[in-house]
Amino acid sequence: MIETKQYTAGEELVNLFTANREMYNEGCPVFMNGAREAALEKFYKAGIPSKSNEDYKYTDLRPVFQNDFEVVPRYVEQSVDLHEIFKCDVPQLNSHIILLINGWYYGRNRRVGEFPEGVICSSLQHAANEHPEIVEKHYNKYAAASADPMVNLNTAMAKDGLFFYVPDNVTIEAPVQVINIMYSKENTLALQRNLFVLGKNSEARIVFCDHTLNENYYILNNLSECHIEPDSRFGFFSVQNQHNGAVNITSFFANVEKNALLDTNTVTLNGGVVRNNIKVQLVGEHAHANVNGLTLADEKQHVDNFISIDHAVPNCTSSQLFKNILDDHSKGVFSGQIHVFRDAQKTEAFQQNNNVLLSETAEMFTKPRLIIDADDVRCSHGATVGRIDEDALFYLRARGIGEKEARLMIMFAFADQVLSQIAVPVLRERLEDLVERRLRGELGPCQHCTLNNKK
């Protein structure tokens, strides 16, 4: 570990990197390190995003990078067994469980169940060295074009994360649960980089669970690239439950080929400042993407979902459904783009954003971005911002249901329209349970509810 001193804004991160370039390159193959330089240059020019960046209009990240934190460019052996101290709240998925700590693939991951032959589930850095023929083909192929400073910062400085490869014609039934833990003695900026590659006619689902295990100040910059080959089905579910002082910047790039299906759902239960960048490119005909999300925020939580779906070829379909329930002084942002390229005829793209404000002080900013360069398309979008339906509330109360319970029923019904889209019953039920507990105020960020499982 190096002493990073109190590096603050973008320039200092750049200085940190250039002063320690060797350490950042150490252990990574040339194709990873080569990508760092161009990304660093772009990051340097743009700096930490502020509101003058149109894509970050409602989410100024400068203040959150103002705090002191460490960046750790080497894997640190943990003195405790994370499997022992951490029990995630989304368990019983009957799934493979993979732990990552501060962005690094945990060295003592136990193998839970066997994967079918040919599947690779490992540290990205490890895979980049061991399986360069697969990793190099896809690494930074989808993120490289991004102008987002947070994406470029990740490419410049991230060294590890999860690599997941499913060969052609292989189906993995149980969801793979990936627990991203933030746990350190120091305030920490973690950079995690993941790559998922699904071969032809394969099927798998990954569930990310983001947690903070202690009160320290954390910024997680977590980027996943995902390549889905023809006729495959991939699900990516992100369950975010970090403490109110934590910053979670999650980027997800998906390249969806012919006849393939992508299902994503981002459920934000807790967090200080959360930004989800989701970019889906439908590049083969008859590809389909469901991009959904649910945010439950209160206190001063800030959650920004920034979505962009490219219909690059004809005959693809996409659907976005994002909902927010905002209480207290929380803020929600939804910005969803549908881009239909020239000649991407017969595109069907839908977008819906519905929001409920529970307090006078909660705020929601919603903005559709439609760029349609083909003429034979069906696109629609709609947004609502409202309060709990008082007539519905009275109806339930008039049947003897107490006000609190009646409110909960209405809120849960609203939220469940997102969760009910999840096609994996075991996952949907777990999430419904978590969301209900969150709405009841019985679910805190993880350091309050899971560490007490410590044996």
Partner 1 sequence: MLTIKNLHATIDGKEILKGINLEVKPGEIHAIMGPNGSGKSTLANVLAGHESFEVSEGEVTFLGENLLEQAAEDRARNGIFLSFQYPIEIPGVSMVNFMKTAVNEHRKHNGLEPLKASQFLRLMEEKKKIVEISSQLTNRSVNEGFSGGEKKRNEIFQMAMLEPKLAILDETDSGLDIDALRIVANGVNTLKTPENATIVVTHYQRLLEYIVPDYVHVLYNGRIVKSAGKELAYELEAKGYDWIKEEAAE
Binding residues for partner 1 (CB under 8 A):
389-392, 394-403, 405-406, 409-410, 412-414, 416-417
Q: Which is nearer to partner 1, 97 or 419 (CB)?
A: 419
For residues 62 and 443, give the distance between their C-alpha atoms in angstroms, rounded to a whole number: 29
CB of 207 or CB of 410, closer to partner 1: 410
Instruction: Report in angstroms how near the CB of residue 410 gets to partner 1 at its nearest.
Output: 7
Query: What's the min distance (Å) between Cβ of 353 and partner 1?
Result: 16
To the nearest whole angstrom, how small is the minimum distance from the Cβ of residue 436 to partner 1?
12
Give all strands of the β-sheet with 317-326 in edge-to-edge order: 104-105, 96-101, 176-182, 203-212, 233-241, 261-270, 288-297, 317-326, 348-357, 378-386
How far apart are CB 402 and partner 1 at their closest, in Å?
Answer: 5
Neighbours of 317 (CB within 10 A): 18
Q: How far is the CB of 399 from partner 1 (least distance, A)?
A: 4
Question: How near is the Cβ of 388 to partner 1 at its closest, in Å?
Answer: 11
277 CA to centre of own chain: 7
Question: Would you say 139 or 414 has its CB closer to partner 1?
Answer: 414
| Residue among 384 and 453 whose Cβ is closer to partner 1 | 384
What is the distance of C-alpha 83 from the center of its chain? 23
> Minimum distance between the CB of residue 324 and partner 1, rounded to whole angstroms?
16
Specify the residue, 71 or 415, whose C-beta has the smaller distance to partner 1: 415
Beta carbon nearer to partner 1, 16 or 410: 410
Q: Which is nearer to partner 1, 85 or 396 (CB)?
A: 396
Of residues 165 and 322, the one with the C-beta less far from partner 1? 322
| CB 340 to partner 1: min, Å | 30
